[in-house]
């Protein structure tokens, strides 16, 4: 018991220093999202009509399939341009590859956060750093070529 006490104290400090029960990776992911994505797609993921597409359920549906998973990683690491249709709306913007600023493990945490927050209704297998690394090493000229076609 004497040896356990410091551990219990430490656990309490960690628990009380977090935002309402959030774990440390969750807090880190929230910050990364606000910094790297939220400036355009907005904190609530709703985007701006005709300018920045919303991040919603379709991302979760894509993440249930191999090609869709690769697409999401490629978009955030390579960026993308060209016209896309989302929920019947046309977007012809440019997204920079901001995800390259994160190491694979942190990007996995960020993407899992995005999926959990904006596509909670879809049961998705979480990304791992190893999967991110594997997908990053695949050469794709334009991330858009991997975009699943079921979104228009
Ligand atoms: C500078 C603004 C900007 C930032 C920062 C940004 N995006 Fe984007 N994002 C865009 C734009 C614009 C598009 C649409 C590009 C197009 O029209 O081809 C887009 C497209 C996407 C798509 C593809 C949507 C689809 O339907 O195919 C995903 C997914 C995405 N962004 C996620 C993210 C995530 C996650 C981050 C943070 C790591 C992020 N974006 C950061 C502007 C941004």
pLDDT at residue 26, as a whole number: 81
Q: What mean pLDDT is predicted for residues 90-99?
A: 95
pLDDT at residue 45, as a whole number: 98
> What global pTM score does this model have?
0.87
Q: What mean pLDDT is predicted for residues 115-142?
A: 95
Residue 25 and residue 141: Cα distance in Å, rounded? 32
pLDDT at residue 17, as a whole number: 45
Measured in Å, residue 23 CA sits from the centre of ligand 1 at 26
Does the Cβ of 69 fall within 6 Å of ligand 1? no
Measured in Å, residue 10 CA sits from the centre of ligand 1 at 39
Q: Where are the alpha helices (DSSP H) in the chain?
A: 4-17, 24-36, 38-41, 57-62, 66-78, 104-118, 129-136
pLDDT at residue 142, as a whole number: 87
Residue 80 and residue 83: Cα distance in Å, rounded? 10
Model pLDDT for residues 26-77, shown as the tens digit of each residue: 888 899 999 999 999 999 999 999 999 999 999 999 999 999 999 999 999 9
Does the Cβ of 68 fall within 6 Å of ligand 1? no
Q: Which CATH superfamily is domain 24-146 in?
A: Cytochrome c-like domain (1.10.760.10)
Measured in Å, residue 67 CA sits from the centre of ligand 1 at 17
């Amino acid at each position: 018991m004497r040896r356990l006490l410091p551990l219990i104290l430490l656990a309490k400090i960690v628990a009380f220093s977090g935002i309402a029960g959030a774990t440390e990776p969750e807090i880190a992911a929230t910050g990364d999202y606000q910094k790297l994505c939220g400036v355009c797609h907005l904190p609530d993921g709703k985007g701006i009509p005709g300018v920045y597409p919303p991040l919603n359920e379709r991302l979760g549906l894509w993440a249930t399939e191999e090609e869709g998973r690769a697409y999401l990683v490629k978009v955030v690491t390579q960026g993308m341009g060209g016209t896309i249709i989302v929920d019947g709306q046309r977007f012809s913007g440019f997204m920079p590859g901001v995800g390259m600023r994160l190491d694979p493990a942190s990007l996995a945490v960020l993407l899992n956060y995005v999926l959990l927050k904006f596509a909670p209704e879809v049961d998705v297998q979480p990304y791992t750093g190893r999967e991110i690394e594997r997908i990053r090493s695949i050469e794709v000229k334009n991330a858009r070529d991997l975009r699943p076609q079921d979104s228009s």
